[in-house]
Every structure is written in C-alpha cells, then in structure tokens.
C-alpha cells in the first residue's frame, strides 16, 4: 500500500510541474522556471549522447536543489555529489548560476567517465 501511495505522490508532484526539460523530456522543470531559448545542444556519438539545456526563474537555489535531489532519484538518477548524478552509462550535471534575481540551471548529460 505504501508503495502505491508513494507512486501516486510522485506522479502528482510531476503533474504540478509545468513541463519537462527541452531535450531531456523525463526531467521536470521546477515550478514556473522557463526554458532559455536556443540553449539546447544535443548530439549522439558512438560512446553516448551529449545534451545540454538551460532553464531560469526567480527562485531560491536551495529550494530548487532540494526539489531535484528528491525528484531525480525517483527517475533512476543516483546522486554522486552536489549537482552530479549517474544513471546507467550516463552522468547528469546541474550547474546553478545566479544573475541578479534570476537563477539559471544548466543541465548537462554526457557518457559516464570511467
């Protein structure tokens, strides 16, 4: 019963997210953060894919980081360090940057370095 309740809560949390990242369609965007136009860089190589995309909004970094620390493990990403995750043969890095009142986050996926 607890497992089904957890799935329902997680599903509801993602439903509240306005959308998903451009280029990484299984990672939700935090609240009303917006995609930064022309920030998507994506290409495939023999050893894996490389994706970089950016969102920004007027939010507290700690609140956003807390959201992704809870959401990403539920999507199969294992936290390695602050802003660094691994899933399968890929690594995900979240680079938080503050510019005046706006917080920007650059999400970068690349093949895992061995």
CA distance 12 to 71: 12
Closest CA to 104 of 93, 91, 95, 113: 95
Residue-range definition of the domain harbouring residue 87: 2-111
Q: What is the total count of domains within the chain?
A: 1
Per-residue pLDDT 10s for the chain (114 aa) are: 444 434 434 444 444 445 899 999 999 999 999 999 999 999 998 889 999 999 999 999 999 999 999 999 999 999 999 999 999 999 999 999 999 889 999 999 999 986
State pTM to two decimals.
0.81
């Amino acid at each position: 019963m607890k497992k089904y309740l957890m799935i329902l809560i997680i599903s509801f949390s993602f439903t509240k997210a306005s959308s998903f990242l451009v280029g990484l369609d299984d990672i939700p965007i935090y609240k009303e953060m917006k995609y930064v136009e022309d920030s998507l860089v994506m290409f495939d190589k023999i050893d894996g894919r490389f994706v970089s995309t950016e969102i920004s909004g007027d939010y507290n970094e700690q609140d956003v980081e807390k959201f992704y620390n809870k959401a990403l493990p539920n999507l199969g990403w294992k936290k390695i360090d602050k802003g660094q995750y691994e899933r399968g043969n890929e690594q995900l890095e979240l680079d938080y940057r503050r510019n005046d009142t706006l917080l920007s986050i650059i999400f970068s996926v690349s093949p895992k370095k061995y």
